[in-house]
Structure 1
Amino acid sequence: MHIPEIFEDSGEGGFRKIETNTLMRISKSLSLAISTGGGTVLNAKNIDYLKQNGIIIFLDVPLEVLKKMNPRNRPLLKDINSLTKLYNDRHHLYLKYANIVINKTDMDENYILNMIEVKINEYINTKWS
């Protein structure tokens, strides 16, 4: 089932419950890269699950860059005002919970991937040395 269908059938609350249950189940796994939705930070349990066996990486994209993107099939992003409100409501949470923050503006994907690798190695060396 696709995200818009879940929102239509179960509402945001139903979607968030599925999200939390899924994170609880997969948080026990190792060697996974999990790309979460923007609302994941709204539930502290989700953060606990993600941090059990992982590192949280936040790709910090400026609001002006986000406004130029197409939010295809994102039920909570109906217009620019919705995007701005969500950004203002959540951005501080992303910064608070992230172990690593990478500022992403116009950088290419290879550069971002290299930065992620470097930052993960730095984090691991600092945390576990």
Structure 2
Amino acid sequence: METLRVALVGFMGCGKSTVGPVLARRLGFEFVDLDLDIQETAGRTIPEIFEQDGEPAFRALESECLARCALRSRLVVAPGGGVVIVERNRRLLRSQFHVVYLRAKPTTLAERLRGEADHRPLLRGHPLEDRITRLLRERGAFYDEIASQIVDVDGKSPEAIAEEISSGLKSI
């Protein structure tokens, strides 16, 4: 447990940033919301990075921040939902983290993201359910591929999800 790093992956809205601090407290680990780390590193918001520099620049920053997290121990990290589209990130996650895929149904994600779509660059300007379904189709295999543990989150509290993850960690 001393060198353990846990990464919570899954589509935006699945609860990574909510479950992460609960899990970190339970384990006595530090929590890093990778999107906040990226914003701090860049000195700009994620929508600003997307608008000014484009998605490739954002993905490069994301990879850099994730690599820094891989050098730390006793850490729970919540990367953005698209971290898995970059192969180097998938390799790093698989080799350096216990990866927990927080899996949610598209309807659950749409409910949670309905009020936030305008603040999420990849959802803006698209019919919400269609866009979620399409992005999930593109990313779902990646989440499955790197997952050490899969937790279905629909209808569960952050505490119940953290407990399920903790139970899974006892077996490693």
Q: Which interval holds the TM-score relative to the shorter structure?
A: 0.7 to 0.9
The question of whether the paired residues in 2 share the 8 Å contact of 1:27 and 1:52 is answered with no
Instruction: Write the letter of the residue equivalent to 2:162.
Output: L
Match of 2:159 among 110, 113, 124: 110
Change (3 A) 1:102 1:90: same
The question of whether the paired residues in 2 share the 8 Å contact of 1:29 and 1:53 is answered with no
Q: Any gaps of 5 or more consecutive residues in structure 2?
A: 1-43
Decide which structure has greater helix share.
Answer: 1
Instruction: Write the letter of the residue equivalent to 2:169.
Output: I
The offset of 1:5, in angstroms, is 0.8
Q: Does 1:83 align with 2:126?
A: no
Distance 1:48 1:96 in 2: 10
How many pairs does the alignment contain? 123
Query: Percent identity over the alignment?
Result: 28
Return the TM-score normalized by structure 1: 0.88
Could you list the structure 1 runs, at least 4 aligned residues long, displaced by more than 6 angstroms after superposition: none
Q: Does 1:48 align with 2:91?
A: yes
- Point out which structure has higher relative CO (alpha carbons under 8 A, 6+ apart): 2
The offset of 1:87, in angstroms, is 1.0
Deviation string, structure 1 residues 75-121 (Cα, Å, up to 9, x no partner): 10123122221011111210111111001110112111100100111
Q: Which moved more, 1:8-17 or 1:72-81?
A: 72-81
Decide which structure has greater strand share.
Answer: 2
